[in-house]
Structure 1
Amino acid sequence: MLRAVLDDYVARLAEKPEVAGVVILGGLARTGSRRFVDRTSDLDVSCFLSLPVPPELLRLHIRDFLVHVQPYLPSWVPNFKFLVPGSFSGLDWDVPLNNHQHVLEYEIQEHVQWDWHALEMYANGSEVVYDPTGDVAKLIAQKLETGRIEQREAVIRLLAFGRVLAKDTAGQCVARGHHAVAHDVLNEVLREVTTAWYALSDRFAPFVKWRIANLPSLDWAPPDAADRYAEAVRVSANDAAEVRRRQGIILAFIDEIETRCRATDPDWPQDIYSYAVNRVFWNRQLRARTVADMLPEVVGLHQDDKMRVERWDEFNWLLRSEKDLRS
């Protein structure tokens, strides 16, 4: 019923000479993994246009590209979101339709990266229904392959910084009497925890309304993940005891994720924090190995242990150089 409505719209898009490809997204995509629609569902479609855009525009950031591409857009291009009136669909309700719109020549540029939500949308819930040249399918495959790097980095960010947030930062908030803020910090970490669960199954985390519902489809998740998540997300009081209760659940999740990583990836970095500040957090540290790290007494130590070595801290504080190692 809903698919027939969407097919009618897709057929009219495909008749437009500027349309290079059309992709059905969400629960109506026959090749997707979601396969769920009901009366409350939106219809989602992605339309790729091929336009004679000057090369200099293709190098712009998206916000500037959208400003300068306006004269090249055909006048029939619709709004992103609108209602399909029942008088057209034959249904007894008006169905929301989301028409995602792209310029193919811009999207294929290497500097154009799709965000996590877009990657998940095309990886888990998409069906290419019109693609006469094959360029749209090729584009999607390229973007997904590039995005796989983000999956591993999402786990690294969690293990390098999530434990600090959940334990130390939330603890600081409690010490200051800011219990609601501590809960907010924990909510942020918990979201990253669920993202890591999907990443460890080589999946992009879906939109938030599907994130927990789709846990049974994962190749790996902690035991009773959904039930424990429900306990972790629940906030019954703005006090220190409730923060500590939630901290315990979330920190246990992080420990399980780290154990899983070390058991399944032989190249997993031993010192996850040091690895992250060099390879993931690009605005943290320039030198891969500092002079302080060359001190004999810290060789082989992790970040937390290095910080307990006074001479290591001293070398950083006094901005020692390599010549100071020999003195």
Structure 2
Amino acid sequence: MNMRRTPNSALELAREAMTPLLTEWIAKPEVQALYILSSSADCPSNPTCFDEESDFDVAVVLDIPLQAAEWRPHLADTCEVIADRIPDWVPRFLFHVPVPWGSMEVNVHQLIYQYECDPRTNWPGEKCDTYLHKAQVLHDRSGSFQQLIHHKAHAARTQLDLERERLANRITWDVREMSLRQARRLGPEAGHYLLNLAVDEVIDCIYAAAGQFIPNRKWKLSQLVSRDFITADQSEILHEAIRCYPASQSDLERRVEALEKFCASVDGFVIGGPEAQQLRSHYQRRLQLRGSRCADPDGAAW
């Protein structure tokens, strides 16, 4: 009988399989930094866990001269401009290596240090979360990339409050009003679909309200409990809201009530009543060119 290996032993075997490649890449003169990411990383703050279903994530950061005028909003477009400077040894993003349980997918996240340093290159929250909490340093010349990680994360944190406000506003619409409205228009399946989006918004809002970057979607549900953002009892209520029979209108209404119950259990969450109207009005001022000094249809000031 083929017994599954424990997560720790699986990671050890995966790292053994990757060691020749990692050692080879570290020795390349163009490599500014080399990091192991996500569940493959061995670091104390990593809430993910490697197993035989995991792929192996590596970040290769290259030191390639880049002029300011060669920067483009998308890295792929920049790479076209400087294609003759990118080393021939740089691998595909995705390939496979043999491991004792079969074949393991390897993902090589390829970055150009000078491109990432440019102030026009913004890091999304998920990228910040990965490099802050799910990254193991194998090589980092002078610690420069580690410094850049913290600089980019500091800049991205300034957007967290704005994202929290956006999500809090959406929740007042999507948990009940929009989900049931679309069900009346297009049938229960459309309502369930919108409610699924509302569940995602609620989860994201919990992270943003806690001042945390929203993690990769594979892990953010399970980490709500493991990182103590919600209790086990709250998790049970949330799972009731997630459970779904898409063709059933009555099940949609059950899910709406379950998600409302969950939101009511989370400190600071507003989903209905005068407080929701106040929250909506506050958010809508951000969408108005004159803020709170807009005219109403009769020409009076609000």
User: Shorter-chain TM-score: what band?
Assistant: 0.7 to 0.9
Pick aligned residue for 2:211 from 202, 206, 209: 202
Counterpart for residue 129 of structure 1: 138
Q: Secondary structure at the match of 1:96?
A: strand
* Aligned-partner Cα distance in 2 for 1:25–1:165: 34
Q: Residues 222-248 of structure 1, C-alpha deviation per residue, up to 9 Å, x if partnerless?
A: 562322222111112523322211111
Distance 1:40 1:75, change over 3 A: same
Q: CA deviation at 1:64?
A: 2.8
What is the TM-score of this pair, normalised by structure 2?
0.84
Pick aligned residue for 2:288 from 285, 288, 292: 285
What is the TM-score of this pair, normalised by structure 1?
0.78
Counterpart for residue 56 of structure 1: 69
Counterpart for residue 8 of structure 2: none
Q: Which amino acid aligns with 2:60?
A: C
Is 1:34 aligned to residue 47 of structure 2?
yes
Q: Residues 73-130 of structure 1, C-alpha deviation per residue, up to 9 Å, x if partnerless?
A: 11111101100135xxxx4522211110011101112221222332222122111221
Q: Which amino acid aligns with 2:283?
A: A
* Aligned-partner Cα distance in 1 for 2:230–2:159: 19
Asked which structure has the greater CA Rg, the reply is 1
Distance 1:149 1:238, change over 3 A: farther
Task: Give yes or no for contact 1:212–1:226 (8 Å, CA) kept in 2.
Answer: no
Q: Secondary structure at the match of 2:106?
A: strand
Q: Report the RMSD for the aligned CA atoms in angstroms.
A: 2.6
Counterpart for residue 227 of structure 2: 218
Counterpart for residue 20 of structure 1: 32
* Aligned-partner Cα distance in 1 for 2:92–2:152: 25
* Aligned-partner Cα distance in 2 for 1:202–1:68: 38
* Aligned-partner Cα distance in 1 for 2:52–2:231: 33
Distance 1:60 1:247, change over 3 A: closer
Task: Give yes or no for contact 1:198–1:204 (8 Å, CA) kept in 2.
Answer: yes
Counterpart for residue 317 of structure 1: 297
* Aligned-partner Cα distance in 2 for 1:79–1:278: 47
Q: Which amino acid aligns with 1:3?
A: R
Counterpart for residue 228 of structure 1: 237
Is 1:66 aligned to residue 79 of structure 2?
yes
Q: Which amino acid aligns with 1:250?
A: L
Runs of 4+ in 1 over 6 A off after TM superposition: none
Task: Give yes or no for contact 1:163–1:251 (8 Å, CA) kept in 2.
Answer: no
